[in-house]
């Protein structure tokens, strides 16, 4: 119980930190390109994004992947059983039409949460493997990891949108080298740092917690199948800003990208799960 309370407090502190970082980025970029007026516009945009990212980021992410409510009785029963074991309200279940087997959880907390699975996950994994994946995601919800990960996805997407806005809509003759460096190096780097601020340990914690309410072998086998599928055919649809939300990064496939992965190595995760057996 104490651990859950501690995780809840830390989640709230991280949420405040993320909102502050987002505000600072929009203020800085606005001032660089428009002085005080630009900073004012940046502050207004930051306020809107802060409000949206906190209250509606889960809906935005589900909308991005065109997720639909999933009425599969067997999977719904799995979610209900695992939620009861984790002692949280049953999350809503969604399905995504993605060729890569994967899943993610989203929502502000246990009372406002959802689990999304890809069609490929349901088609290609065994029942005990699916249950292991669902247990992992439910553990994220229990410890309120979803609030931070979903907000980070929204913030990363907002910074990317801002970069494109200036690139296509600004006065190119009035820009200088410093402006380009600040916008196209520091801003994406800030988004990257936000994603990296989400501790890799949260995946280990979710693996362990998920294995405790399902089975270590099922989750380990699922991780191996998902990782192999991603290597063979990385996802082409979706935003890389949401990569950290999935149980395995669906966009990975290049060594350079792996250097900045928000996930720990799958091999190490599987090793720890095997040791739990």
If we measure between CA atoms, which residue out of 103, 121, 105, 192 comes closest to residue 152? Answer: 192
Is 131 assigned a catalytic role? no
Among candidate residues 131, 137, 173, 268, the one labeled active-site is 137
Q: Are 260 and 110 in contact (CB under 8 A)?
A: no
CA atoms of 192 and 209, how far apart (whole Å): 27
DSSP lists the bridge partners of residue 106 as 114
Strands 112-118 and 92-96, bridge-based pairing? parallel
Three-state DSSP state, 113: strand
Q: Are 135 and 210 in contact (CB under 8 A)?
A: yes
Q: Are 246 and 137 in contact (CB under 8 A)?
A: no
Q: Which residues are catalytic?
A: 137
């Amino acid at each position: 119980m104490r651990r859950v309370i501690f995780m809840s407090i830390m989640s709230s502190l991280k949420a405040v930190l993320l909102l502050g970082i987002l505000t600072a980025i929009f203020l800085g970029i606005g001032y660089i390109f428009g002085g005080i007026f630009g900073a004012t516009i940046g502050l207004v945009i930051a306020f809107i994004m802060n409000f949206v990212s906190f209250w509606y980021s889960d809906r935005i992410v589900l909308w991005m992947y065109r997720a639909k409510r999933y009425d599969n009785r067997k999977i719904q029963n799995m979610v209900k059983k695992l939620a009861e074991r984790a002692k949280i309200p049953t999350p809503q279940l969604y399905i995504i039409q993605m060729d890569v087997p994967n899943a993610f959880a989203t929502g502000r907390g246990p009372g406002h949460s959802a689990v999304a699975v890809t069609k490929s996950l349901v088609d290609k994994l065994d029942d005990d493997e699916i249950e292991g994946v669902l247990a992992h995601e439910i553990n994220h919800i229990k410890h309120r990891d979803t609030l931070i990960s979903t907000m980070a996805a929204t913030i990363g997407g907002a910074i990317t949108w801002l970069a494109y806005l200036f690139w296509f809509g600004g006065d190119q003759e009035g820009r200088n080298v410093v402006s380009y460096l600040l916008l196209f190096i520091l801003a994406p780097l800030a988004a990257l740092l936000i994603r990296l601020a989400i501790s890799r340990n949260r995946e280990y914690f979710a693996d362990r917690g998920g294995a405790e309410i399902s089975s270590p072998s099922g989750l380990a086998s699922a991780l191996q199948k998902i990782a192999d599928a991603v290597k063979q055919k990385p996802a082409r649809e979706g935003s890389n800003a949401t990569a950290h939300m999935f149980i395995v990064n669906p966009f990975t496939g290049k060594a350079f990208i792996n250097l900045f992965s928000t996930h720990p190595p799958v091999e190490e995760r599987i090793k720890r799960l095997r040791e739990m057996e």
